[in-house]
Chains A and B, each alone.
Chain A
């Protein structure tokens, strides 16, 4: 099983290498970009099936020692890893297939496909890693690939700026993350994940709060939570399939995955759990409101991703590990679906803006159908999978106890409100894209112009889990048994590892209330004027603020960018005028000294002779004195 996992990891890397080396001259680029990933997907499925409900299976090779540490690299297959790997490989396959027609004709398709394959390999490395350092390697490679892929359309300054912004913000989180990993490894006396979890379980870590806080910084950066969230909406400048893969299903999920993986460490730090809950709460509501105000379809989906990730983080903060991972998996499915469908629609309409869309219901039926499924899942309408995911988190928040009690209350309140706002913006998106008049020809019924098949098949395929994954809930505690307890050991009831995903009564009722209430308001606002944006009426004066994302970027600009630029100017000024002044001064000093000496060259021979004889007399006197004294 571990060998299969290793193969699953290597296949996309191999595909990426072939595509990179082959470049533009490679024939069958489309084959090389999709086939290895398809094989990897099959491999991850086999790994997951073989793993079943067994515990963690680790297989490592020792490659020597580094100081006090024994270095071993290899794969670790746990329930969590197996399921996440299936999600990653599956979404990657859909995205690659989709891209063959979405971007297939563009000149840089080969490098694009190679980067996606590399990215997939890196994410699988993170998922299957047995070692913290290998995990970090995969983590960083993902960050680098994200930079390249967001900046794929580097002709546009918006894309260049967005890729640098994403890179810098995730790196800002990655530096404390690195320190956290090192501290964790040092205190657990080993960098192997198994050893770390054992050390955390046995309370052998001395400063779990610090470690958890440092690791949380990396999670915030990678999963786009407040305050490192504003790179995700801007990252929509990249191609739509990238948004589907990286910024919906996989890379941003890596942060959540890490918290779930090292959960025993986080559990030891109640303060960090509260901080997690607070951040999740702020993020989920704030980004949901921003999503409601956006006019760009992709930005709506981006803010929606941030909000859903906050849900997952909130779930982890209240002890609902299984629920959070369940939401991660279903969110990956339906968000990827939504992005790919949005891509189809955008290609058809030629613009990202909501105002350019409308009435596509009959013109693009398959896109309409799949996007409806996705939006229903997003809004949390039963029996779609998103409903169970959201309910799981809210239920965990409601029944949280002990150290999870305070986070539980925060997450519950904000989660309920956000559920309502989520429904509102999902409905607004649905109505704005597919209903109402078609802007170009208000009263025409044009012929259907659908997207090519290679784009539609992934949509249909992804709709299935989006709709049907709710069926997992019927297995009761089966999911958490597969996932394993917090330590990854199946059947171990350490903490509250075995949980039931079935929604609890009160929270379900309240959340449905919020959903119907906010959704109804939106519908009524839309009914008044089908052509206008319902958000104008709903949000009123706050709309401008929300459209700009609470002007958060301006805050960063004033607080970070400007001082950095000023400091750079100061340093440049100091270098030119202080240090260079010394350098120039040494030159000027030497020259001035020379001109002083030059005054001796009077040209008068007698002056020269005088100096000469003065010297001779002095030397003679000294010599005579020394001679007589000694």
Chain B
């Protein structure tokens, strides 16, 4: 078999998974896309294991490990999503804006803005510290 086939397949699957991580809003959908990423990687590893056939059998052993870790990670990830859901009543990642910095209008001689914020989601904790 040409080595290109499994490797290109792995690359394409990885790109699909990358798109999914960046484009999905639900936390669980993101986790699903992460699984795609991991699968692409394992496919790559197994292909190289077949191509190179080294004495340690690294390709397939590592894949075994990755599957294990993926399972652990899924468990923990879902626990976190559950926590997120419990605190915010939503698993929507697009709505989480704590890391945001609002864009404010200053006058030339002001250190803090006198006017209100321009963003629509006021977060008093951030600006309470700034004032």
Direct A–B contact in the complex, CB atoms closer than 8 angstroms: yes
Q: Residues of A at under 8 Å CB distance from B?
A: 584, 587-588, 591, 595, 598-599, 601-606, 608-610, 613
A584-B108, A588-B108, A591-B106 as given contacts; A603 in contact with B21, CB under 8 Å: no
User: Is B22 part of the binding interface, using a Cβ–Cβ cutoff of 8 Å?
Assistant: yes
Q: How far is the CB of A325 from chain B (nearest CB, A)?
A: 67
Contacts of B97 in A (CB 8 A): 602-604
Contacts of B103 in A (CB 8 A): 595, 598-599
Not counting A595-B103, A598-B103, A603-B100, a sample of 10 additional A-B residue pairs whose C-beta atoms are within 8 angstroms of each other reads: A584-B109, A588-B108, A599-B103, A603-B98, A603-B101, A604-B94, A604-B96, A606-B21, A606-B22, A610-B22
A587-B108, A613-B18 as given contacts; A605 in contact with B101, CB under 8 Å: no
Q: How far is the CB of B8 from chain A (nearest CB, A)?
A: 15
Q: How far is B53's CA from A459's CA once the two chains are assembled, in angstroms?
A: 130
Interface residues on B, range: 20 to 34
Q: Which 9 A-B pairs have the closest CB atoms?
A: A603-B100, A603-B97, A601-B101, A603-B99, A610-B22, A588-B108, A584-B108, A598-B101, A598-B103
Q: Contact: B99 with A601, CB < 8 Å?
A: yes
User: Is B93 part of the binding interface, using a Cβ–Cβ cutoff of 8 Å?
Assistant: yes
Contacts of B93 in A (CB 8 A): 604-606
- Point out the residue from A587, A591, A603 that lies within 8 Å of B96, measured CB to CB: A603
Q: Contact: B96 with A602, CB < 8 Å?
A: no
- Point out the residue from B94, B106, B108 that lies within 8 Å of A606, measured CB to CB: B94
Among B22, B30, B108, the one with the most A-chain Cβ atoms within 10 Å of its Cβ is: B22
User: Is B73 part of the binding interface, using a Cβ–Cβ cutoff of 8 Å?
Assistant: no
Chain B residue nearest to A587 in the complex (CB): B108
Q: How far is the CB of B1 from chain A (nearest CB, A)?
A: 24
Contacts of A609 in B (CB 8 A): 21-22
Q: How far is B104's CA from A602's CA once the two chains are assembled, in angstroms?
A: 13
Q: How far is B102's CA from A587's CA once the two chains are assembled, in angstroms?
A: 20
Decide if the interface of chain B is mainly helix, strand, loop or mixed.
Answer: loop
Which residues of B from 77 to 98 have beta carbons under 8 Å from A? 93-94, 96-98
Contacts of A606 in B (CB 8 A): 21-23, 25, 30, 93-94
Q: A-B contact count, CB below 8 Å?
A: 47
Q: How far is the CB of B5 from chain A (nearest CB, A)?
A: 20
Q: List 18 A-B contacts (CB under 8 A).
A: A584-B109, A595-B103, A595-B104, A598-B102, A598-B103, A602-B100, A603-B96, A603-B121, A605-B93, A605-B96, A606-B22, A606-B23, A608-B99, A609-B21, A609-B22, A610-B22, A613-B18, A613-B22
Q: Contact: B21 with A605, CB < 8 Å?
A: no
Contacts of B22 in A (CB 8 A): 606, 609-610, 613
Q: Contact: A601 with B100, CB < 8 Å?
A: yes
Q: How far is the CB of B103 from chain A (nearest CB, A)?
A: 5
Chain A residue nearest to B21 in the complex (CB): A609
Contacts of A584 in B (CB 8 A): 108-109
Q: How far is the CB of A375 from chain B (nearest CB, A)?
A: 68
Q: How far is B115's CA from A595's CA once the two chains are assembled, in angstroms?
A: 15
Q: How far is the CB of A615 from chain B (nearest CB, A)?
A: 13
Q: How far is the CB of B34 from chain A (nearest CB, A)?
A: 11
Q: How far is B103's CA from A284's CA once the two chains are assembled, in angstroms?
A: 77
A610-B22, A613-B22 as given contacts; A605 in contact with B108, CB under 8 Å: no
Q: How far is B53's CA from A626's CA once the two chains are assembled, in angstroms?
A: 31
Q: Contact: A605 with B99, CB < 8 Å?
A: yes
Chain A residue nearest to B99 in the complex (CB): A603
Chain B residue nearest to A581 in the complex (CB): B108
Q: How far is B98's CA from A595's CA once the two chains are assembled, in angstroms?
A: 18
Contacts of A587 in B (CB 8 A): 108
| Chain B 89-131: CB-based contact to A (< 8 A → 1; otherwise 0) | 0000110111111111110110000000000010000000000
Contacts of A604 in B (CB 8 A): 93-94, 96-97, 100
Q: How far is the CB of A582 from chain B (nearest CB, A)?
A: 12
Q: How far is the CB of A403 from chain B (nearest CB, A)?
A: 68
Q: How far is the CB of A225 from chain B (nearest CB, A)?
A: 54
Contacts of B108 in A (CB 8 A): 584, 587-588
Q: How far is B94's CA from A608's CA once the two chains are assembled, in angstroms?
A: 12
Q: How far is the CB of A590 from chain B (nearest CB, A)?
A: 11
Q: How far is B100's CA from A601's CA once the two chains are assembled, in angstroms?
A: 5
Q: How far is the CB of A334 from chain B (nearest CB, A)?
A: 67
Q: How far is B22's CA from A604's CA once the two chains are assembled, in angstroms?
A: 10
Which residues of B from 2 to 33 have beta carbons under 8 Å from A? 18, 21-23, 25, 30
| Chain B 20-57: CB-based contact to A (< 8 A → 1; otherwise 0) | 01110100001000000000000000000000000000
Q: How far is B103's CA from A602's CA once the two chains are assembled, in angstroms?
A: 10
Q: How far is B102's CA from A599's CA once the two chains are assembled, in angstroms?
A: 7
Contacts of B121 in A (CB 8 A): 603
Q: How far is the CB of B44 from chain A (nearest CB, A)?
A: 15
Contacts of B102 in A (CB 8 A): 598
Contacts of B21 in A (CB 8 A): 606, 609
Contacts of A613 in B (CB 8 A): 18, 22
Q: How far is B99's CA from A606's CA once the two chains are assembled, in angstroms?
A: 12
Q: How far is B21's CA from A613's CA once the two chains are assembled, in angstroms?
A: 11
